[in-house]
Amino acid sequence: MINLETPKKFRMLVSQAQQVAREIFRPNSRHYDRAEHAYPQQLDMLGALLDGMNEGGGGEGAGAAGVRREGARETGNRNSGNLSTALGTMELCWGDVGFLLSMPRQGLGNAAIASVASEEQLKRFAGRWAAMAITEPHCGSDSAAIRTTARLDGDHYVLNGEKIYVTAGERAELVVVWATLDRNIGRAAIKSFVVEKGTPGFELVRLEHKLGIRASDTAAFVLKDCRVPKENLLGDPTINVEKGFAGVMQTFDNTRPLVAAMAVGLARASLERSRELLAAAGVQVDYTQPALTQSAAAAELLRLEADYEAAYLLTLQAAWMADNRKPNSLQASQAKAKAGRSGVQITLKCVELCGSLGYGEDELLEKWARDAKILDIFEGTQQIQQLIIARRLLGKSSAELK
């Protein structure tokens, strides 16, 4: 049974994350929001912090540490890398989401490598920063419809296509590119390839200017006859129609709860600051009295806090299930859907409740509202999460429920 208290062995880690968020992320947040595409040099010395979080799971990890669930199933309650990383992520995103996304070696590409790479590949790519390239101009939420192709030519695969919205694409040393070995076969032919920066035919064409998370770079790439060693294909090179591309998709069952954790941390920051500003204006929240007996602002704050608690609990559940080797695809999508939507609604409402203070640059509330929107979009939009949830609850396949 899940225990909602922070496990004792993680309290030091959570405290360290709080300190980093308070003393480094939050004070520099506005500067790098204005200086878009400038790399926060303060992060170089902090990369080891999240490395330590990921290693806390004893090899089972979370986030950039990936998920490897083979082996004997243990009994009892396990609090491991997924829960620790989720708790640390909440604290760091209380400071700044863009900074967290810019942490070296913590990208979705690192999670994919850790999840499905061979032992030889794990050693070869160890300690390197990897981004993930999935989305294409003609393929947004439907990852199975990607058009980037990979053709085997001797000892290399030749990749051709275009990738957009690659988080940390400019800064990462490696990019995990999703491509299809045969468009006619469908999703079963989709594989992931590790492409090293500087490989001929792999071109960075632009950096996106964004609404929020401006401390994090978002890149677009074109692949033109890009030759990648066949040893850089992650997982099994054979096409298995029965299995589909579940191997590369399993990464999301671990990383979606972490995106939910980002939204939870951001929502908490907005609620705490709004509560302080409202208290200074004379609005007091009485938690011993019904909302209908209090002011409209206090009642609204109570509603927002209840919404936050629901997102928080779903996030803990999804992370805990991953630690305990329980199938959590449904819960991961529930957490991502709930926290993503709640994060947007809570931050926007906090801006509204605080009036001119919420809208002005003297406070971070308006920035948090801008940052929140991406958390409802990337790693599967709100609509895609609801579709996944419906499939799981109704027992439908992707072909039966589109």
For residue 257, name the pLDDT band (cuts at 50, 70, 90). very high
For residue 1, name the pLDDT band (cuts at 50, 70, 90). low
How high is the pLDDT of residue 335?
Answer: 98
Segment 84-88 shows an average pLDDT of 91
For residue 68, name the pLDDT band (cuts at 50, 70, 90). low
Segment 255-261 shows an average pLDDT of 94
Please list the residues that pair with 166 across neighbouring strands.
219
How high is the pLDDT of residue 5?
Answer: 83
In terms of pLDDT, which residue wins out, 44 or 346?
A: 346
What does the pLDDT look like over 274-331, one tens digit per residue? 999 999 999 999 999 999 999 999 999 999 999 999 999 999 999 999 888 899 999 9
CA atoms of 81 and 98, how far apart (whole Å): 22
As a whole number, the mean pLDDT across the chain is 89
Say which residue the tokens 């690659």 belong to: 166
CA atoms of 52 and 55, how far apart (whole Å): 5
In terms of pLDDT, which residue wins out, 185 or 58?
A: 185
For the annotated catalytic residues, the residue numbers are 379
pLDDT of 101 strictly over 80: yes
How high is the pLDDT of residue 71?
Answer: 47
Q: Domain 247-394 belongs to what topology?
A: Butyryl-CoA Dehydrogenase, subunit A; domain 3 (1.20.140)
Please list the residues that pair with 220 across neighbouring strands.
206
How high is the pLDDT of residue 261?
Answer: 97
How high is the pLDDT of residue 49?
Answer: 59
Domain 128-240 has CATH 2.160.20.10: no
CA dihedral 53, 55, 56, 61 (to 10 degrees): 90
In terms of pLDDT, which residue wins out, 60 or 295?
A: 295
CB contact set of 202 (below 8 Å; sequence gap of 6+) = 159, 175, 195, 221, 223, 226
Q: Domain 8-120 belongs to what topology?
A: Butyryl-Coa Dehydrogenase, subunit A; domain 1 (1.10.540)
Segments of 208-312 assigned E as strands: 218-229, 233-234
In terms of pLDDT, which residue wins out, 152 or 59?
A: 152
Segment 222-250 shows an average pLDDT of 80
- Is-same-fold flag (8-120; 247-394)? no
Comparing 38-52, 57-71, 92-106, 259-273, the range with the smallest average pLDDT is 57-71
CA atoms of 278 and 296, how far apart (whole Å): 12
Delimit the domains of the chain by residue range: 8-120, 128-240, 247-394
